Structure 1
Amino acid sequence: MSSPLGPPLLVANPGAGAGRDAVLPRLTAALRTRGLDFDVVTTGGPGDATRLARQAVQDGRRFVVAVGGDGTVQEVVNGLVDAETGEVRGRRPVLGVVAGGTGCDFARTFGLDRAPEVLADHLLGEQTLPIDLGRVRLTGLDGRPRTVLFANIAEAGYGGDVIALANRLPRRLGRARYGAAIVGAIARFRHVETTVTVDQGTRTEPLCNVVVANGQFFGRGLQVAPRALPYDDRFNVQSWGATPFDVLRAAPQLRKGDHLSRSDVREWQSARVEVAASRPLLVEADGEVLGRTPASFDLLHRVIDLKL
């Protein structure tokens, strides 16, 4: 049986899940049971998912499924769309997402944080939703200009330091890496005089973090941007004047999306965002450190379709 969108290509992080919870074998078994034709490729390192997705759509494939965490989704969308020009590669691509790895918060916004067996049924039909993708231009860690797409949420400041520290900790710690990094980065980070420019104007003040959100969730279920809509051509932008320790203490509010009433949080809806600071801030998006400020963000409006 073929999907109405053509046979899906599963671009899979083989480390998504572990043991009995390994996502890829459960997903492929469910798809075979349902009689769906599909192909699988697995990644072996950074950049592989981008290369594999790009080659697939250039070869005429339309339906590409990211099997893994937010980092896998980010790499796949950078293969489907040219970041510099904003042009899709091949025919208008359809992105499928099957959550796995250390987390896929992008999927939560759309109710796709489900078991692989459930998501196998979602891959069978033809229902899709046009979605926006974020784009950031910044200075890469190698000092050269860089342009990258992201599907979910970017941060500049403390959030970037957390991800950088987590990526240096041993992989064997699993999800505990991020908890350790959240605590460890507190001691290293201080407020930075930061200028945030949005559609409504420019503001300069001491900040610990700037959030540029296309999706609603990050940090494995924290609803940091409850008013973000990934199809309205607007980011949900937040600046945090709190200390990193205050951000940690606000975790219960963040989990429920109740933090926006805090006096140390400012919020805007904006199609473009500029972030500059008195010292370069690390920028992360979808759990990957991309580079440093100054950073410029814009949106590619409804540039791909998400498989629902």
Structure 2
Amino acid sequence: MSAPYGPPLLVSNPSAGNDRGAVLRAASAELHRLGLDHDVAETTGAGDATRIAREAVAAGRRFVVAVGGDGTIHEVVNGLVDPETGQPHAEDTVLGILPGGSGGDLARTFGFDRRPERAVRHLLGDTTNAFDVGRVRLTGRDGQPRTVLFANIAEAGYGGTVTALAARLPRRFGQSRYAVATIAAVARFRLVETTIALDSSERTEAISNVIVANGQFFGGGMNVAPRALPWDGRFNVQAWTGTPMDVIRAGSALRKGTHTSRSDVREWNSATVRVDGPPLIVEADGEVLGTTPAVFDLLPGVLRIKL
């Protein structure tokens, strides 16, 4: 049996989270049981998923499934769509997601079951939905201009600093890397006078963090952007004017999605965002990308996501 969009290619990072390929094995076994033709490609290093996805669509594949966390989805999306032109490498490309890894936050926005034996069932049938993809132009870590796509959420400021610190900690620490980095980053970050320009307004004030959200969740289930919809052509944008300690104290509200009523949180919807001022570390989908100044825009409905 073949899927309506052709046999899916499952692109998996066997090092995502702590499952060491368990999600891929369970998903593939269930697909075999269901009789669905599919292929598997495992990554061996950073950037592999991007290359695999790009080569797959160039060879005629139209259904590519990211198996893993948000980092794997991030790489696959950058392989399916050209960051500079904003156009998919092939028309009618369908993105599938099988959650794995330690985060899996974009999957939460779509309500995908995290159990691979059940999650694979959304690969069946022909139901898809338009999927917006975020794009950011910024200064790369090498000091050169860089353009990168992101599927879920980007941050500039304290959140970027936390992600950069966590990336330096041993991966065996798992999700606890972020808990350690969240505290360690407090001593390294101060409020920064920053200009945030949106579609129809601009403001400059001291902030600790800017969030540019396509999806709703980050940080392993925090409902940071409850009003974000990754198919409405707009980002949910937040500026935090409190200190990093205020951000930490808001942890419970962040998990519930009630933090947007706080007096130190500004919130807007906008298709474009420019963040300028002293350099802030930018991360997206859990990957450190570079520093501000940064310009974010949306590529509305550039992909279809399999539901």
Q: TM-score, normalised by structure 1?
A: 0.98
| Pairing 1:213–2:210 present | no
Other-structure match for 2:61:
61
Q: CA deviation at 1:67?
A: 0.4
| Structure 1: runs of 5 or more not aligned | none
CA pair 20-165 structure 1, distance change in 2 beyond 3 A: closer
Task: Specify the code of the residue in structure 2 equivalent to 1:304.
Answer: L
| Pairing 1:180–2:180 present | yes
* Range moving further from structure 2, 172-181 or 210-219: 172-181
Kept in 1, the 8 Å contact 2:14–2:20? The answer is no
Q: CA deviation at 1:17?
A: 4.8
The aligned runs of 1:1-308 (5 Å cut-off) are 1-18=1-18, 22-277=22-277, 279-308=278-307
Q: State the Cα deviation string for residues 119-178 of structure 1 (Å, max 9, x = none).
A: 111111111001100000000000110000000000000000000000000111111111
Task: Specify the code of the residue in structure 2 equivalent to 1:234.
Answer: R
* Distance in structure 2 (CA, Å) of the matches to 1:113 and 1:240: 32
Secondary structure of the corresponding residue to residue 296 of structure 2: strand
Q: TM-score, normalised by structure 2?
A: 0.98
Kept in 1, the 8 Å contact 2:73–2:97? The answer is yes
Q: State the Cα deviation string for residues 174-221 of structure 1 (Å, max 9, x = none).
A: 111111111111111110001000113110010000000000000000
* Distance in structure 2 (CA, Å) of the matches to 1:233 and 1:18: 35
Q: How many residues align?
A: 307
Task: Specify the code of the residue in structure 1 equivalent to 2:207.
Answer: L
| Structure 2: runs of 5 or more not aligned | none
* Distance in structure 1 (CA, Å) of the matches to 2:256 and 2:169: 28
Q: CA deviation at 1:114?
A: 2.2
CA pair 288-20 structure 1, distance change in 2 beyond 3 A: closer
* Distance in structure 2 (CA, Å) of the matches to 1:290 and 1:255: 25
Q: CA deviation at 1:91?
A: 2.7
* Distance in structure 2 (CA, Å) of the matches to 1:17 and 1:113: 17
* Distance in structure 1 (CA, Å) of the matches to 2:238 and 2:250: 14
**What root-mean-square deviation, in Å, do the aligned CA atoms of Structure 1 and Structure 2 show?**
1.1
Secondary structure of the corresponding residue to residue 122 of structure 1: helix
Kept in 2, the 8 Å contact 1:13–1:68? The answer is yes
* Distance in structure 1 (CA, Å) of the matches to 2:84 and 2:150: 13
Kept in 1, the 8 Å contact 2:279–2:293? The answer is yes
* Distance in structure 2 (CA, Å) of the matches to 1:288 and 1:18: 18
Q: CA deviation at 1:104?
A: 1.1
Q: State the Cα deviation string for residues 231-256 of structure 1 (Å, max 9, x = none).
A: 11100000000111110110110011
Secondary structure of the corresponding residue to residue 225 of structure 1: coil
Kept in 1, the 8 Å contact 2:13–2:21? The answer is no
